[in-house]
Chains A and B, each alone.
Chain A
Amino acid sequence: MLKVDNVSAAYGKALALKEVSLRVEKGEIVSLIGANGAGKTTTLRVISGMIRPLKGEVTFEGRSIVGLEPYQITSIGIIHVPEGRGLFPEMTVRENLEMGAFLRTDKDSINEDLEFVYSLFPVLKEREKQLAGTLSGGEQQMLAIGKGLMGNPKLLMLDEPSLGLAPMLVDKIFETIVQINKEKGTTILVAEQNAYMALTSSHRAYVIENGVTVMEGTGEELLGNEHVRKAYLGI
């Protein structure tokens, strides 16, 4: 479904990605794990069109998407939930969710998806009329994921969904990611520092170090890998 091939990218002169390659198949949960500054966020930003790669190719459903504007990439079904969550703080929870469905016109299925999001996160329904900026960190993350889902994505990309959350909430968020994947069949790409959570919840994963994807495997394989255990799981 998504293929990233030998991509490099830079911020000004600082090379952030040297050689990143990965693929995501339809229906999978794939995670991208790595330390701070390894290039996880940059990889997602390249896919969503926020940054143009210096070289390399990104294809989605067989078609190159390099050079498309971010809003065009959203319109072909790739939705990026950015780190820092990308909410509209002065709009209500409900309005944020409605904005998430910005490109859609199919009222009935928008309502269905709204119900689905509320069933995943009942707290959002309770806080429907509250301003997004006044939610707690965990609720904001739930809203961000909900807002992403409202766009009915083919591929949902989540950047650090566990960032700044209490351990119990991290569990809940990852459970929900698995649930979304199972119930809606949404393909999901997660960039995550919390390697243990990411690996136990994903079908496959990539390890990225200093802008290079150095390893690939199923969640279990990587959980058993010596290097991963030492560097990312602290075992």
Chain B
Amino acid sequence: MLGISRKVVLETAKYYIVAALLLIPLPLAGDYVTHVAILVMLYTITAASLDILVGYTGRLSLGHAAFFAVGAYTSTLLAMNLGVSPWIGIFAGGIMASIFGLILGIPSLKLRGPYLAIATLGFGVVVWLMLINLDWLTRGPLGIPGIPPLPSIGPIDFRNKVSFYYVALLFTVISIFLLHLLTKSRAGRIFVAIREDEDAALSIGVDVPLFKVYAFLVATFFAGISGGLYAHYLRYISPEISTLSESIYMLSMTIIGGFGTLIGPVMGAIVLSLLQELLRSYLEYRYLIYGLLIVLVMRFFPKGIYGIIELFLEKAGGGK
């Protein structure tokens, strides 16, 4: 099914091991940096997963935050009501997000372009309304405080930012590595074929509906995982995490980073999160700034940050 050689796996793994090693000393820079780094990493998982859907398969989604929220609420409610360990809850959150992904993915199979965007937007709003109105379960707009942290392992207490940082790093590196392998696999090539021309994909014998659903499953699973980590890190969640503006924020990361490149959205998540930190005092203008950035990127660098870097590397290489 994977259709990927051992060689490619090992070669790709090298980069991720190096990246992980380089990021190990980061918490030395202090609590604030560690905190921002954790949030950035959670966003990189979401942006990369969204890229599978938007960038590779060409299925525009304006509801990705809903799946993040489903993951966060699932893990939280399992831990608080049923005493399920968050270590398990995070994965249950991913699976629940995928189930929601199926609920959206199957009926929207035939939709393309703007119609799909509207359906995903509507779905996101429905999830948001559910979180607000099912207050016996979700406490409505008040949100849920006092979420249990990740249970400690031996002497390691995950209420500590530095310990959590390493958990987040592990999850992030593994998630993006897996997504990266997916894009290089047979399924990854099929996703691209569907994006390029659905009819052509059908004509070579691709079961297009199956692979569209597959892309939805994968993308929503990782969004859910990221949501679960978020809940047990901040230990407070509210329906705010599922809003349209959050979805657009995630999509901005994917677009500004350079969709269809996986690493681009990761860079997009880093740049936009850092921008948000820098512009904290101008918070009310942030969507204005993202909007402007998207327009500028689409106009001048349709391949996003990734494309800009590629261009530089090409120039540097061409000079030799």
Mask: chain B, 191-203; 1 = CB below 8 Å from A; 0 = not:
0110011011011
Instruction: List 25 A-B residue pairs with CB atoms under 8 Å apart, sorted by A's residue number.
Output: A48-B203, A50-B199, A69-B207, A70-B203, A71-B202, A71-B206, A71-B207, A74-B202, A75-B205, A80-B203, A81-B203, A82-B199, A82-B203, A86-B203, A87-B196, A88-B193, A89-B197, A90-B196, A91-B192, A91-B193, A91-B196, A95-B189, A99-B204, A102-B206, A103-B205
Q: Does A204 contact B (CB under 8 A)?
A: no
* B152-191 with Cβ < 8 A to chain A: 189-190
> CA of A99 to CA of B186 in the docked complex: distance in angstroms?
10
* A134-183 with Cβ < 8 A to chain B: 147, 151
User: Is chain B's binding surface mostly helix, strand, loop or mixed?
Assistant: helix
Q: How far is the CB of A113 from chain B (nearest CB, A)?
A: 14
Residue ID in chain A nearest B194 by CB atoms? A88
Q: Report the contact-size class of chain A (Cβ under 8 Å from the partner).
A: 20 to 34
Q: Does B80 contact A (CB under 8 A)?
A: no
Q: Does B118 contact A (CB under 8 A)?
A: no
A71 with B205: CB separation less than 8 A: yes
Q: Does A32 contact B (CB under 8 A)?
A: no
A86 with B189: CB separation less than 8 A: no
Q: Does A100 contact B (CB under 8 A)?
A: yes
Contact for A88 among B200, B205, B207, B208, CB less than 8 A: B200
- Given contacts A79-B204, A82-B200, A102-B205, 17 further A-B pairs with CB under 8 A are A71-B206, A74-B202, A74-B205, A79-B203, A80-B203, A81-B203, A82-B203, A86-B200, A86-B203, A87-B200, A88-B196, A88-B200, A89-B196, A90-B196, A91-B193, A91-B196, A102-B204
B204 with A74: CB separation less than 8 A: yes
Question: Across the interface, which residues of B come within 8 angstroms of A88, CB to CB?
Answer: 192-193, 196-197, 200
> CA of A87 to CA of B197 in the docked complex: distance in angstroms?
7
Q: How far is the CB of B208 from chain A (nearest CB, A)?
A: 7
B206 with A90: CB separation less than 8 A: no
Q: How far is the CB of A84 from chain B (nearest CB, A)?
A: 9
* A18-52 with Cβ < 8 A to chain B: 48, 50
Residue ID in chain A nearest B190 by CB atoms? A102
Question: Across the interface, which residues of B come within 8 angstroms of A70, CB to CB?
Answer: 202-203
Mask: chain A, 60-100; 1 = CB below 8 Å from B; 0 = not:
00000000011100110001111000111111000100011
Tell me which of B190, B200, B206 has the highest count of chain A C-beta atoms within 10 A of its own C-beta.
B200
Residue ID in chain B nearest A89 by CB atoms? B196
Contact for A103 among B193, B199, B204, B208, CB less than 8 A: B204
Q: How far is the CB of A159 from chain B (nearest CB, A)?
A: 10
Contact for A99 among B193, B199, B207, B208, CB less than 8 A: B193
> CA of A147 to CA of B193 in the docked complex: distance in angstroms?
13
Question: Across the interface, which residues of B come within 8 angstroms of A151, CB to CB?
Answer: 204-205
Question: Across the interface, which residues of A come within 8 angstroms of B203, CB to CB?
Answer: 48, 70, 74, 79-82, 86
Residue ID in chain A nearest B207 by CB atoms? A71
7 A-B pairs closest in CB distance: A86-B200, A74-B205, A88-B196, A70-B202, A103-B205, A102-B204, A71-B205
Question: Across the interface, which residues of A come within 8 angstroms of B207, CB to CB?
Answer: 69, 71
Q: How far is the CB of B209 from chain A (nearest CB, A)?
A: 8
Question: Across the interface, which residues of B come within 8 angstroms of A90, CB to CB?
Answer: 192, 196
Mask: chain B, 201-243; 1 = CB below 8 Å from A; 0 = not:
0111111100000000000000000000000000000000000
Residue ID in chain B nearest A75 by CB atoms? B205
Q: How far is the CB of B55 from chain A (nearest CB, A)?
A: 12
A99 with B189: CB separation less than 8 A: yes
Q: How far is the CB of B141 from chain A (nearest CB, A)?
A: 44
Q: How far is the CB of A62 from chain B (nearest CB, A)?
A: 21
Q: How far is the CB of B204 from chain A (nearest CB, A)?
A: 4
Q: How far is the CB of A235 from chain B (nearest CB, A)?
A: 36
* A97-154 with Cβ < 8 A to chain B: 99-100, 102-103, 147, 151
Question: Across the interface, which residues of A come within 8 angstroms of B197, CB to CB?
Answer: 86-89
Question: Across the interface, which residues of A come within 8 angstroms of B189, CB to CB?
Answer: 95, 99
Q: How far is the CB of B61 from chain A (nearest CB, A)?
A: 20
Tell me which of B200, B204, B208 has the highest count of chain A C-beta atoms within 10 A of its own C-beta.
B204
Question: Across the interface, which residues of A come within 8 angstroms of B192, CB to CB?
Answer: 88, 90-91
Q: How far is the CB of A189 from chain B (nearest CB, A)?
A: 14
> CA of A102 to CA of B192 in the docked complex: distance in angstroms?
13
> CA of A81 to CA of B197 in the docked complex: distance in angstroms?
13
Residue ID in chain B nearest A88 by CB atoms? B196
> CA of A54 to CA of B142 in the docked complex: distance in angstroms?
55
Question: Across the interface, which residues of B come within 8 angstroms of A82, CB to CB?
Answer: 199-200, 203
* B41-64 with Cβ < 8 A to chain A: none
Residue ID in chain B nearest A148 by CB atoms? B203
Residue ID in chain B nearest A81 by CB atoms? B203
